[in-house]
């Protein structure tokens, strides 16, 4: 009888309509125990029961321990992997399975992996063979992907679809549109959309009260962030009092909600803030935060640790992140770890004291970009721009001479190039700015993934040069940009300007796309400009203004009133009737009527010696105190008595 039990159970399960999955699981376990786990059909039933009970970890374990079952339940296995947070495995397995279900699983897994391009393509395929029951879900999911792409900065701002009437029809679409507005920094629009989403959710007939509460909580948490960003402190505090983050069904929403409420509250004690921040349990892998959520939370966590003087702990876990990133790295989490690592070593010091404590760390990690940027900021804050420039130049030179793959891309990354240019501009090094942009353009213009903003800046800078070679490089840059952005007006303007020396027929069509010159100058009064004359510098205008306010103008008719002179400033023998001596400003011996007094030696006449030596007289070389004494004079000065006359012989 025991041998026939598995087959009997299987036949019974096929005919039964049990809804108690715990009971089904219990019967499966009994049957498998009797058959020693050899009945694959019963194992299949057990696997489905585990999925129905949301026991995804146990379901995955059952598949991995049962030989041959994986092929039978590939789709269900991919779903179980997705629910346990093994997203990459789930996406790769779903990609090998045919069917709409597999496409949905892969799209969701790719979305969680922040790979926005593949989910968009999958949903496009699903919409091409659309099922009526999936129409709304596809629309909502596509809206979430669009918002995520904006958060990650992976979408061209010009291609972003504006919020339409269809986005305001349901709370899910309104919420996704609000998230996109937040990603773009349009907080006022996001506030309106979140209010609309909240109202639609409250009045939904398709949701139970518990479901409404679950949906309203993340909307309120997002709304709290928007109000704080808009500076509406009173409204934010009121809303924070209404939010109970502990009611969130998933730990990720609970963590974000608790963080936003804490930031809005007036808790000034860092130790109480530390306790409140860490009150939420650790988020499990299947509820993993997105990078644009985890980075701010990590920043807040380390900030609170530093405020509570947990310096050693901050150094420990930030050093681990830096080591895993293997500097040089421009990964946001590694840069953030480097910044807080430096702050932990500085022990909350700033200025020169912080620099002294961080410099020894730089000797151990000379290619740590985040650490160098932190030091640059400290140098600039203390007014030492020269040291900041030298530090960045040393980093860029080391990266440029490196043979390690990928370090050249880091060397010419727009962030580091912009940092170098801003420091050069602060010091007024205009030529160095042009050279840095030219080097960056020379490197990127042959790359397929060239940053357009950097190439545009380099092209504009090269156009300002008088060199024919620079003009040709600028023309090549804007030609490449025109292929990538054919409708961008800044690119078209650069292309026209860089090809102005060429045949007009080449740029004629592009020039027509730009705003006409007549339209640009239609509000300019040409007659007023001509009458105003050449514009003066600010200094000249200031001097002219001071002259108008301090100086009195000449009276009409030219009759000048003589200026009154005080008697205290006149000589004692001043006679108003006598004409002043025109040579009174010259030394006496240089005046035309000067005659030397009689009785003086001829050699001393004309001011050559005695007490009459003044400006312009003859110079006695022997009186040159700066001249070095001769050897004899030195000896005489040192012996002391050798310059005395010898007494006569026999005289006392």
Chain segment 114-142, per-residue pLDDT in tens? 888 888 889 888 888 877 778 888 889 88
The alpha-helical segments, DSSP class H, found in 53-170 are: 56-65, 74-83, 87-95, 100-112, 117-128, 135-152
Count of CB atoms situated within 10 Å of the CB of 348: 11
Report pLDDT for 360: 94
In a domain, 114, yes or no: no
| Domain match, 330 and 421 both | yes
| Domain match, 464 and 408 both | no
Crossing angle of helices 187-202/171-183, nearest 10°? 160
- Whether 454 and 440 have beta carbons less than 8 Å apart is answered as yes
pLDDT band at 358 (very low <50, low <70, confident <90, very high): very high
Tell me the mean pLDDT in the region 254-269.
Answer: 84
C-alpha 646/C-alpha 486 separation (Å) is: 108
In a domain, 531, yes or no: no
Q: Is omega for the bond preceding 328 within 30 degrees of 0, making it cis?
A: yes
**Residue 607 Ramachandran class (φ > 0 left, ψ -120 to 50 alpha, else beta):** left
C-alpha 26/C-alpha 6 separation (Å) is: 13
Structurally, the chain folds into a number of domains equal to 3
| Domain match, 326 and 374 both | yes
C-alpha 287/C-alpha 256 separation (Å) is: 12
Has residue 624 got a pLDDT over 80?
no
Closest of 135, 145, 86, 141 to residue 115, by C-alpha: 145
| 496, 515, 534 - which closes a domain | 515
- Whether 45 and 10 have beta carbons less than 8 Å apart is answered as yes
| Domain match, 328 and 423 both | yes
Report pLDDT for 560: 59
| Domain match, 471 and 502 both | yes
In the numeric block, which tokens belong to residue 106? Answer: 């892969």
| Domain match, 403 and 467 both | no
Tell me the mean pLDDT in the region 625-633.
Answer: 41
In the numeric block, which tokens belong to residue 263? Answer: 């930031």
C-alpha 72/C-alpha 32 separation (Å) is: 18
CB-hemisphere CA count at 13 Å for 306? 22
User: Could you report the per-residue pLDDT of 379-416, keeping only the tens digit for each?
Assistant: 999 999 999 999 999 999 998 888 887 888 888 888 99
In a domain, 273, yes or no: no
In the numeric block, which tokens belong to residue 267? Answer: 């808790």
Count of CB atoms situated within 10 Å of the CB of 262: 18
How far is CA 199 from each of CA 219, 249, 436, rounded to the nearest angstrom?
11, 21, 54
In a domain, 330, yes or no: yes
C-alpha 236/C-alpha 225 separation (Å) is: 8
Q: What is the CA radius of gyration of the chain?
A: 43
- Whether 497 and 463 have beta carbons less than 8 Å apart is answered as yes
In the numeric block, which tokens belong to residue 351? Answer: 């200025």
Q: How many separate helices (H) and strands (E) can be counted in the chain?
A: 32, 0
User: Could you report the per-residue pLDDT of 577-587, keeping only the tens digit for each?
Assistant: 888 888 888 88
Tell me the mean pLDDT in the region 153-163.
Answer: 77
| 394, 428, 462 - which closes a domain | 428
| Domain match, 334 and 421 both | yes
In a domain, 468, yes or no: yes
Report pLDDT for 613: 44
Report pLDDT for 316: 92
Evaluate the CA torsion angle 507, 510, 512, 514 in order and state its sign. negative
**Residue 227 Ramachandran class (φ > 0 left, ψ -120 to 50 alpha, else beta):** alpha
CATH number, domain of 362, equals 1.25.40
| 45, 72, 99 - which closes a domain | 72
pLDDT band at 336 (very low <50, low <70, confident <90, very high): very high
pLDDT band at 48 (very low <50, low <70, confident <90, very high): confident
pLDDT band at 12 (very low <50, low <70, confident <90, very high): low
C-alpha 556/C-alpha 533 separation (Å) is: 26
C-alpha 299/C-alpha 301 separation (Å) is: 5
Residue-by-residue DSSP string for 456-492: HHHHHHHHTS--HHHHHHHHHHHHHHHHH-TT-HHHH
C-alpha 292/C-alpha 334 separation (Å) is: 14
C-alpha 621/C-alpha 601 separation (Å) is: 19
| Domain match, 335 and 404 both | yes
Residue with tokens 């050093």: 319
C-alpha 8/C-alpha 22 separation (Å) is: 19
In the numeric block, which tokens belong to residue 631? Answer: 């050897």
In a domain, 438, yes or no: no
User: Could you report the per-residue pLDDT of 295-322, keeping only the tens digit for each?
Assistant: 899 999 999 999 999 999 999 989 999 9
Exposure b/e, 540-566, CB count within 10 A at least 16 = b: eeeeeeeeeeeeeeeeeeeeeeeeeee
Q: Which residue has the higher pLDDT, 495 or 612?
A: 495
pTM over 0.85: no
In a domain, 329, yes or no: yes
What is the span of the domain harbouring residue 355?
Answer: 322-428
Has residue 157 got a pLDDT over 80?
no
Tell me the mean pLDDT in the region 252-265.
Answer: 87
In the numeric block, which tokens belong to residue 171? Answer: 């709370």
CB-hemisphere CA count at 13 Å for 364? 9
Residue with tokens 């792409």: 149
In a domain, 106, yes or no: no
- Whether 1 and 9 have beta carbons less than 8 Å apart is answered as no
């Amino acid at each position: 009888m025991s041998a026939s039990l598995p087959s009997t159970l299987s036949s019974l399960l096929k005919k039964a309509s049990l809804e108690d999955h715990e009971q089904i699981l219990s019967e499966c376990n009994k049957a498998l125990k009797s058959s020693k786990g050899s009945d694959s059909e019963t194992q299949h039933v057990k696997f489905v029961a585990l999925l129905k009970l949301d026991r995804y970890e146990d379901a995955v374990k059952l598949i991995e321990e049962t030989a041959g079952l994986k092929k039978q339940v590939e789709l269900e296995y991919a779903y179980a992997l997705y629910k346990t947070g093994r997203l990459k495995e789930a996406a790769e397995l779903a990609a090998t399975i045919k069917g709409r279900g597999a496409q949905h699983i892969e799209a969701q897994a790719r979305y969680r992996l922040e790979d926005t391009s593949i989910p968009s393509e999958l949903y496009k395929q699903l919409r091409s063979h659309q099922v009526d029951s999936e129409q709304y879900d596809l629309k909502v999911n596509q809206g979430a992907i669009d918002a995520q792409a904006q958060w990650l900065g992976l979408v061209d701002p010009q291609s972003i679809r504006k919020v339409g009437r269809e986005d305001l029809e349901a709370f899910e679409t309104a919420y996704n549109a609000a998230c996109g507005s937040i990603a773009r920094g349009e907080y006022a629009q996001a506030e309106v959309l979140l209010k609309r989403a909240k109202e639609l959710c409250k009045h939904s007939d398709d949701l139970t009260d518990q479901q409404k509460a679950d949906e309203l909580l993340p909307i309120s948490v997002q709304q709290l962030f928007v109000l704080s960003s808009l500076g509406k402190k009173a409204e934010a505090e009121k809303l924070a009092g209404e939010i109970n983050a502990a009611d969130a069904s998933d730990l990720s929403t609970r963590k974000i909600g608790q963080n936003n409420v804490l930031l809005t509250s007036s808790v000034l004690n860092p130790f109480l803030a530390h306790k409140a921040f860490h009150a939420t349990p650790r988020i499990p892998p299947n509820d993993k935060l997105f990078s644009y959520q985890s980075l701010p939370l990590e920043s807040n966590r380390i900030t609170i640790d530093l405020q509570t003087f947990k310096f050693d702990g901050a150094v420990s876990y930030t050093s681990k992140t830096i080591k895993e990133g293997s500097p040089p790295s421009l990964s946001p989490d590694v840069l953030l770890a480097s910044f807080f690592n430096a702050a932990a070593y500085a022990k909350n010091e700033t200025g020169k004291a912080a620099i002294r404590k961080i410099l020894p760390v730089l000797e151990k990690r000379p290619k740590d970009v985040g650490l160098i940027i932190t030091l640059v900021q400290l140098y600039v804050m203390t007014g030492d721009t020269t040291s900041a420039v030298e530090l960045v130049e040393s980093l860029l030179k080391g990266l440029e001479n490196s043979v390690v793959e990928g370090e050249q891309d880091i060397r010419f990354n727009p962030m580091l190039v912009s940092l170098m240019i801003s420091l050069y501009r602060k010091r007024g090094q205009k030529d160095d700015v042009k050279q840095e942009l030219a080097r960056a353009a020379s490197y990127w213009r042959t790359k397929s993934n060239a940053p357009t903003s950097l190439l545009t800046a380099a092209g504009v800078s090269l156009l300002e040069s008088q060199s024919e070679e620079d003009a040709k490089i600028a023309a090549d840059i804007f030609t490449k940009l025109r292929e990538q952005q054919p409708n961008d007006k800044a690119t078209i303007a650069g292309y026209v300007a860089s090809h102005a020396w060429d045949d007009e027929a080449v740029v004629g069509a592009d020039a027509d796309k730009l705003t006409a010159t007549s339209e640009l100058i239609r509000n300019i009064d040409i007659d007023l400009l001509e009458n105003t004359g050449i514009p003066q510098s600010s200094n000249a205008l200031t001097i002219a203004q001071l002259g108008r306010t301090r100086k009195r103008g000449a009276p009409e008719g030219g009759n000048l009133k003589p200026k009154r002179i005080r008697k205290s400033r006149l000589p004692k023998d001043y006679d108003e009737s006598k004409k002043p001596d025109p040579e009174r400003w010259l030394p006496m011996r240089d005046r035309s009527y000067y005659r030397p007094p009689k009785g003086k030696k001829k050699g001393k006449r004309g001011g050559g010696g005695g007490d009459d030596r003044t400006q312009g007289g003859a110079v006695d070389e022997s009186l040159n105190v700066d001249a070095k004494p001769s050897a004899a004079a030195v000896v005489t000065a040192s012996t002391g008595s050798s310059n005395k006359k010898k007494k006569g012989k026999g005289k006392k």
